[in-house]
Amino acid sequence: MKRPLDLNQFLADLEYLVNIDSQFSDPEGVAEVAAFFEKGFADIGWKGEKKELDPAAGPCLKITNGEDPYDALLLGHMDTVFPKGTVAERPFTRDENRAYGPGVNDMKGGLLFALYAARAITQSKAPGSFCIAFNSEEEIGSRRARPWIEELARQSRAALILEPARPNGDLTNERKGLGQIRVEFNGKAAHAGVEPEKGVSAVNEMACWILALHGLTDFEAGTTLNAGVVAGGTAPNVVPAKATMAVDVRIKQPGEKDRIAAKVEELKANPLTPGISVDADFFITRPPMNPSPGTMKLCALVEEAGREAGVEFAWQATGGGSDGNFTAALGVPTVDGMGPVGGGSHAVTEYMEIEQAAGRFALLMNVLGKIPAAKF
């Protein structure tokens, strides 16, 4: 399918989309982005369906041109991390090489790739049954959208995640699983000078937990724990009655989840501070995305498509998660980073490489052309 990207139109659409604030907690903003795509896909005869997860989240979108099983699921998210008002402060801009603005790279460019690809497929009457799914809450972990995404993944032979390629152009076929441990410690306040023996220090117990949990870090196994947010106490001269912490957990091996859960249970059952009460919650939000044999076959197909498009890249593993973690964990061959090339995601420096957009779109089109006949 040789349908070149209409770069001027692409940049005009990108400007329109970037200039809509659509943070995860902004259902109206996300709905506005969804409306643009509903219309765009309807215009070319693709079937759109809204999925309402929750009134507090914007709608998700499912768009198809055929029945399941789908040859590929194209996944993206309409939410950004930037709050309402960001566009007023720093709207879409561009120079010769790069486009800037909230969500320009993560991932409104990737969403547009899906629409432009669908248009090219329709115009060239290319074969294939495809499902495009746009999530509304990826940036907060997709906890509500996960069952929906998994259902669509089970109906698909492969998953292409339209997140941006890495800044150097590399694609991703391996991501860590991630989760959190949240703990609340409740002790007893007392004057630290007059009767400290009557107090139960919540901070003391929290310190024991931090050391024990950090001790589970195993760089070789790909397991890391980070007590990233801690709080506790009221004044230096008061034995602290309360402390809370949130620990980021990353795993590469699925079994590591059990080792961490066992440690949390052990710490709960054997407090080192007499009289303390502990409330702990450990959950995995995204399972690890490890390249299966099916994924490796899909990677080979993507490499061939890249050679034909004259686009160079390598494969990178990353500690960050995406909705590709869900599809890969189900055993669906999954490749991530199929959107435009860019960097600075989640920061004011966010950008998309304009010059590389056409090449990346050609790569995606080649992949979509090959997938219907491929065996994984």
Nearest CA to 321 out of 354, 341, 301, 345 is that of 345
Contact pattern for Zn ion over residues 293 through 332, marking x by CB under 5 A: ----------------------------------------
CB distance 243 to 230 below 8 Å: yes
Which residues, 37 to 66, sit near Zn ion by CB under 5 A?
none
Please say which residue, 142 or 292, places its beta carbon nearer to Zn ion. 142
Residue nearest to Zn ion (CB): 106
Q: What crossing angle do the helices spanning 109-123 and 357-370 adopt, rounded to 10°?
A: 50
Please say which residue, 1 or 75, places its beta carbon nearer to Zn ion. 75
In the complex, least distance from residue 112 CB atom to Zn ion, rounded to whole angstroms = 14
Cβ neighbours around 115 below 10 Å, total: 20
In the complex, least distance from residue 371 CB atom to Zn ion, rounded to whole angstroms = 22
Strand partners, 93: 100
Which residues, 161 to 200, sit near Zn ion by CB under 5 A?
163
Sort 57 into a burial class: Cβ within 10 Å, 0-12 / 13-18 / 19+: buried
Contact segment (CB under 5 A) with Zn ion among 9-17, 159-167, 262-270, 271-279 equals: 159-167
Please say which residue, 40 or 141, places its beta carbon nearer to Zn ion. 141
Helix H or strand E segment including 267: helix 256-269
Binding flag, residue 350, Zn ion (CB under 5 A): no
Helices (H), 55-108: 86-89
Interface with Zn ion (CB under 5 A), residue from 60, 87, 107, 200: 107
Please say which residue, 232 or 342, places its beta carbon nearer to Zn ion. 342
Amino acid at position 32, single letter: E
Which residues, 67 to 106, sit near Zn ion by CB under 5 A?
106
In the complex, least distance from residue 337 CB atom to Zn ion, rounded to whole angstroms = 10
Please say which residue, 163 or 350, places its beta carbon nearer to Zn ion. 163
In the complex, least distance from residue 54 CB atom to Zn ion, rounded to whole angstroms = 20
Size of the site for Zn ion (CB under 5 A): 3
Within 8 A by CB and 6+ apart from 182, the residues are: 244, 245, 246, 247, 280, 281
Residue 165 CA to residue 339 CA, distance in Å, equals: 6
Q: Which two tokens stand for residue 89?
A: 């402060």
Please say which residue, 5 or 107, places its beta carbon nearer to Zn ion. 107
How far is it between the farthest Cα atoms of the chain?
83
Binding site for Zn ion (CB under 5 A): 106-107, 163
